[in-house]
Structure 1
Amino acid sequence: MIDVDSVVEDTRTLISIDSQNPGPLEAECADWVVSRLERVGLAVQRHEVEPGRDNILTQVAGSDPDAPRLVILGHMDTVPIGEGWTYPPLGGVIDDGRIYGRGACDMKAGLALGIGLLDALVRTGEQPRGDVVLVATVDEEAPGMLGAHQLVRDGLIRPTDQVLAPEPTGMRLRQRQMGLRWLTITVTGKMAHAGRAHLGIDANHVLAEIMTRAKTTFSALPFEDGILGRARFTCGTFHGGVSTNVVPGSATAEFDLRIVPPMVPEDAVGIVQRVADAVMREHPGAEYAIELLGARRPPVGASDDAKIIRDLVEAYVEHTGAEPEIGGADGHEAYTDASMIAALTGSDSCTVLGPGATDQAHTADEYVSLADIELGAELLWTLVRKW
């Protein structure tokens, strides 16, 4: 069995290591993960993504070289700590059945579970049928998701791999993920004295019209997925102008476009372009430019027949007496390294299930419940023994 007490202590240690992205990044965390795995007696590989940023890989060999591998996929970086904390953000404080700290649920508890699984396999001498691989990546929280891209470029993921990312899902099965596209749109108008505003072109006004119409267009899209819901539009940032009494000559905004099948990221960008073109025709002299941000992220999903899905459901039923929830407030809108690997490889055997409430990720006083860690340990151990 996985030693839950050890997983809890590893989670607390990982929380104490500052791995904010952007910020200190993952080097110290990677060093600790390597040391922890080597103490178990595992051979550990480091694969450079950027100078000072390495993906970490280790495995326990299975008895059947032809059996599909189980890949446990975790990331070492966290979002910035931010403000508003009542618990020490790097403290790993345990209070009322919860561990608090930045990365507690996203996803240092999940990474600690993966470490605990391999530790248990070595300690007990239990040999799985297929290889059990643990991968710890960098840069999952950034737009480019460089760690996942490098993992695929390095050929470390096989077509038959069954991939599980123990990201926070409230222990629900996140079988499908929304697609998304980030972009920056900049409108160029013409500066003028606010008292002679008719001589200028108000870039703020023009961009605001694009934003409003684009949001309305997304809300009216006819596509609705039974699990993922409907497409969503968010204007995350909006900046423009230089002074109260000056007609703004330029304005810039960042859009977050969340999409569901049958849409792909290019469809979302095309909607914004068509809206912007229409607004430009109403404001002669204004211009706009779009810059795409981060990686292309189409909607992805695991097949009902994928081994990882069937075996996870069986393990969940064995321990809880009920099938895991798949729809609902379980973070299907979040894009993980497992999602990116599915997008890059076309795999239909990548999924997400792990400890911690999705709503707690990226918040002040982020936490993971001890109960989720305990259930996660039981599910992983059963999953491997059934493999």
Structure 2
Amino acid sequence: MISLDSVIADTSALIGIDSQNPGPLEGKCAEWVGNRLTDAGLSPARMPVAEGRDNVVARVPGDPAAPRLVLLGHMDTVPVGEGWTHPPFGAAIADGRLYGRGACDMKAGLALAINLLDALTTGGRPPRGDVVLVATVDEEAPDMAGAHRLVESGFLRPDDQVLALEPTGMRLRIAQMGLRWLTLRVHGRMAHAGRAHLGIDANHLTAKVVDRLKTVFAALPYEDPVLGRPRFTCGVFRGGVATNVVPPSCEARLDVRIVPPMTPKQAQALVERVAAGVVAEHPGARYEIEPLGAERPPVRAADDAPIVRGIRTAYQTHTGQPVPVGGADGHEAYTDASMVAALTGSTSCTVFGPGATDQAHTADEYVPLADLDLGAHILWTLVENW
């Protein structure tokens, strides 16, 4: 069995390691994970991704004829930000919650995976199939370089059953919204604000594009029974020189979330059409759009995939209830498992883990200790029933 006390201790230790991305990144975290796995009697290996950034891979061997269970856990976190009342690296426990940056996203899930391998190693009985942990880098960045390197390395097999232990509120995330990030730059003409008619206000044009995109995406006729409707957000808006100067340029970073049958290319083409239409209304202006990061199409696991059936059975065993699917479980948040599915075409990649997506990337991020307890039982039963 998996020790809950050990999971809590390892989650706390991981929270105490600053692995912000951008920031210190994952070096110290990868070293800690490697040492922890070595202490458990395993032989972890490094998979180089970039200078000073390695995925960490470990395996408990089982029946080579059975599909492997591949657990994914990323080591990086988003920046700390402001507004904390608990120390972001303090791993404080209060009211049944463990607080800190990365508590739910996703050092708790990583700790669960580590302790599963530890328990299997010391248990004296090999699992029915290989159980593999890949601790990845760069999940929180646009390129998701760790997941890309994992696929490019040829390490994965067609029948691998892939599980990212990301925060889902202990709900099964069987489907994943697609995502395209885009950078929009609009170029106008600088002029004195007192003679504004001689200039072209790039801020104004960019705002018109963003406003029109909000309307266009809200009117799209697509709605998925699990994922819901497409969503559009302008997350960054920068422009202007001074208060009394007509802005000559403006940059906006756009977040487009899509559902089937849309593709990232279709989403980008739609943004292009809207931007072109607005800019055409203002002779002398121009625009450019650049993709930001990797394409992330919508993906879905098969209902009959062993990993999906296994989680459903294990959850029912320990709660007496069917595992919840859909709703507020973070189908909007792209994961390493989603990227593996997108790059390989696998329908055996899914997401299930402790903590709620609503708490990820927030001040006073936390993971409920009850989720760690339930997660430990479900993971153990998943492997026992493999």
The verdict on a shared fold, with TM-score over 0.5 as the criterion, is yes
Counterparts of 2:332 and 2:125, CA distance in 1: 36
| C-alpha separation in 1, matches of 2:202 and 2:40 | 60
1:10 equivalent in alignment to 2:10: yes
Q: 1:86 is paired with a residue of what secondary structure?
A: coil
The aligned residue for residue 80 of structure 2 is: 81
Partner of residue 59, structure 2: 59
Report Cα offsets for 1:22-66 as digits up to 9, x if no partner: 11110100001000000111111101101111000011111x211
Q: C-alpha displacement at 1:121, in angstroms? A: 0.5
SS in 1 for 2:141: coil
How does 1:370-385 map onto structure 2 within 5 Å? 370-385=369-384
Q: Does 1:315 align with 2:304?
A: no
Amino acid at match of 2:234: C
After TM superposition, the structure 1 stretch with the greater mean CA deviation from structure 2, 240-249 or 304-313, is: 240-249
Q: Which amino acid aligns with 1:19?
A: S
**Residue 129 (structure 1) shift:** 1.1
Q: Could you tell me which residue of structure 1 aligns to residue 262 of structure 2?
A: 263
Q: Deviations over 1:281-336 (max 9, x none)?
A: 21111100011101110000100010100111011101111111111110000000
Q: 1: CA distance between counterparts of 2:369 and 2:239?
A: 46
Instruction: State the one-letter code of the partner of 2:153.
Output: D
Write the distance in 1 (CA, Å) between the matches of 2:124 and 2:376.
17
1:281 alignment partner in structure 2: 280
Deviates more, 1:12-21 or 1:118-127: 118-127
What letter is aligned with 2:269? G
After TM superposition, give the deviation of residue 240 of structure 1 in Å. Answer: 1.1
Is the partner of 1:221 in helix, strand or coil? coil
Q: Does structure 1 residue 30 correspond to structure 2 residue 38?
A: no
Check if 1:239 corresponds to 2:233: no
Matches of 1:19 and 1:280, distance apart in 2: 42
In the TM superposition, what is the alpha-carbon distance from 1:128 to its structure 2 partner? 1.1
Aligned with 1:46: secondary structure? strand
The 3-state SS of whatever aligns with 1:225 is coil
Give the aligned partner of residue 305 of structure 1: 304
**Aligned twin of 1:154:** 153
| Inter-partner Cα distance in structure 2 for 1:343 and 1:99 | 33
Query: How far apart, in 1, do the equivalents of 2:281 and 2:81 lie?
Result: 41
Give the distance between the partners of 2:85 and 2:203, measured in 1 at CA: 38
> For 1:180, what is the secondary structure of its paired residue?
strand
Secondary structure at 1:273 match in 2: helix
How far apart, CA to CA, are the structure 1 residues paired with 2:163 and 2:228?
23
Q: TM-score, normalised by structure 1?
A: 0.99
RMSD value, Cα: 0.7
Supply the distance in 2 between the matched residues of 1:201 and 1:367 (Cα, whole angstroms). Answer: 47
1:138-188 Cα deviation digits (max 9, x unpaired) = 000001100000001111111110001110000000011100000110010
Q: Secondary structure at the match of 1:157?
A: coil
Instruction: Work out the CA distance in 1 between the residues paired with 2:88 and 2:352.
Output: 24
Q: Distance in 2 between matches of 1:194 and 1:80?
A: 38
Q: Which residue of 2 aligns with 1:119?
A: 118
TM superposition shift of 1:88: 0.7
Name 2:19's counterpart in structure 1: 19
Cα deviation, 1:360-382, whole Å, max 9, x if unaligned, reads: 00000000011000000000000
After the TM superposition, which of the residue ranges 377-386 and 187-196 deviates more from structure 2? 187-196
In 2: Cα distance, 1:278 partner to 1:332 partner: 32
- The 2-side partners of 1:282 and 1:31 are apart by 56
Equivalent residue letter for 2:35: S
Q: Secondary structure at the match of 1:325?
A: coil
2:137 corresponds to 1:163: no
Aligned residues: 386
Q: Which whole-Å CA distance do the structure 1 matches of 2:202 and 2:78 have between them?
A: 32
State the AA in 1 paired with 2:15: I
Alignment correspondent of 1:105: 104
In the TM superposition, what is the alpha-carbon distance from 1:126 to its structure 2 partner? 2.3
The alignment partner of 1:341 has SS state of helix
**Partner amino acid, structure 2, of 1:109:** A
Q: What SS does structure 1 have at the residue aligned with 2:302?
A: coil
> Which amino acid is 1:154 matched to?
S
Distance 2:97 2:197 in 1: 59
> What per-residue deviation string (whole Å, max 9, x for no partner) do you get for residues 172-210 of structure 1?
000111000001100101111111111111111111111
Structure 1 residue runs of 4 or more that deviate by more than 6 Å after TM superposition: none
Q: Which residue of 2 aligns with 1:364?
A: 363
**Which residue of structure 1 lines up, in the alignment, with residue 142 of structure 2?**
143
Report the secondary structure of 2:24's partner residue.
coil
Cα distance in structure 2, aligned partners of 1:100 and 1:377: 19
